Amino acid sequence: MSSIDRRSFLVASAGTIASAGAAASVSTVAGMSLASAACAAPTGQREGVSNLQIPSYKPIALDHLKGGLEGISANQLEQHAKLYNGYVARTNALIEKTTRMVAEGKHLNDQKAPVPEYAELKRRMGWEFNGMVLHEYYFQNLKKGSGDIPAGSPLAKVAEREFGSVQNWWGELMATAKMPGVGWVICCQDPNSGRLFNQWVSMHEEGHVGGFRVILALDLWEHAFIGDYQPTERGKYLAAFEKNVDWEAAGKRLL
């Protein structure tokens, strides 16, 4: 498994924004700012379990969220960061467990088919890994006091081209976000045509379109806002989200 040198984590192991304290640089994978895309690079060749070196992902820096956002409190973000840290930790645990099972030859039965434990761990990977990745997109496309999308910005131009106007694009994204249920709304881009789509993602791993680029991520699980709002007040959370979108960060994700 190759690895890419990656960002260090500002938020302490408990995940609190208030105690964040080290700088980090952003890595990209295939032009996309992706989840903890990296890890400590293994050295030497793997020869048996004793020499096994397993890269681990590190949570991204969240120092830009210190002090809270307009309509989204510091405490809400702190608790959300702790939840995100859990996805990082569980992703690492899954990778380590499955990698060791393969190295030890314990992932297959006598008929060379996956044993139940290995199969279930592999199925779980999509939930944990996407939970890590989507939260990173979400946190990185937030910025206090960002205001309205700048006219003539890269994202505004694409939205106008594909939806007729920025208002049409944003209106459809918000309409999608108001659908019943928990999950994510992802504005994503088809790398072949350049078209934008506002996609509903159930859970973390269900609803993604293969190969599409994430441009803007909106967390619609109640843990994203119930520290500040009632479960029935999603609309207030969506209004707060709109005030804090980092349009420049989202625009840089475009092709």
Please give the C-alpha separations between residue 37 and each of 31, 132, 147, 255, in angstroms, as whole numbers.
12, 10, 30, 19
Place of tokens 């209106």: 171
Q: The domain spanning residue 200 has which CATH number?
A: 3.55.40.20
Pair 12, 21: CB distance under 8 Å: yes
| C-alpha–C-alpha distance, residues 194 and 143, integer Å | 25
- Of the three residues 86, 116, 140, the one that is the final residue of a domain is 140
- Do 32 and 62 share a domain, yes or no? yes
pLDDT on residue 207? 93
Does 149 map to a domain?
A: no
pLDDT, residue 52, reads 87
Residues 2 and 94 placed together within one structural domain of the fold: yes
For 204, the token pair is: 């973390």
Q: What would the two tokens of residue 69 be?
A: 């956002």
Does residue 96 sit in the same domain as residue 126? yes
Residues 58 and 174 occupy one common structural domain: no
Domain boundary among 77, 106, 140: 140
Same domain, 4 and 128: yes
In a domain, 198, yes or no: yes
Asked if residue 194 and residue 125 are part of one domain, the reply reads: no
The residue from 140, 168, 203 where one domain ends is 140
Per the domain annotation, does 67 fall within a domain? yes
Q: What is the pTM of this model?
A: 0.82
The reply to whether 2 and 93 lie within a common domain is: yes
Residue type, 229: Y
Run of H or E residues at 97: helix 74-103
d(CA 216, CA 38): 22
Q: Are residues 93 and 52 in the same domain?
A: yes
Classify residue 208 as left (phi > 0), alpha (psi -120 to 50) or beta.
beta
Could you tell me if residue 131 is inside a domain? yes
pLDDT of the residue at 6: 34
CA distance 166 to 243: 15
User: Distance (Å, rounded) from C-alpha 151 to C-alpha 179?
Assistant: 28
Ranges of the chain with pLDDT below 50: 1-47
Residue 58 resides in a domain: yes
Q: Are 216 and 142 in contact (CB under 8 A)?
A: no
Q: Do 11 and 130 lie in a common domain?
A: yes
Are 24 and 85 in the same domain? yes
The pLDDT tens digits for 56-84 are 999 999 999 999 999 999 999 999 999 99
Whole-number Å distance between alpha carbons of 23 and 31: 22
Q: How far apart are CA 95 and CA 168, in angstroms?
A: 42
How many separate domains does the chain show? Answer: 2
Residues forming beta bridges with residue 106, ordered by sequence position: none
* Cα gap 212→201, rounded to integer Å: 13
Shared domain check, 193 and 130: no
Name the residue range of residue 125's domain.
1-140
Does 148 reside within a domain? no
Same domain, 161 and 62: no
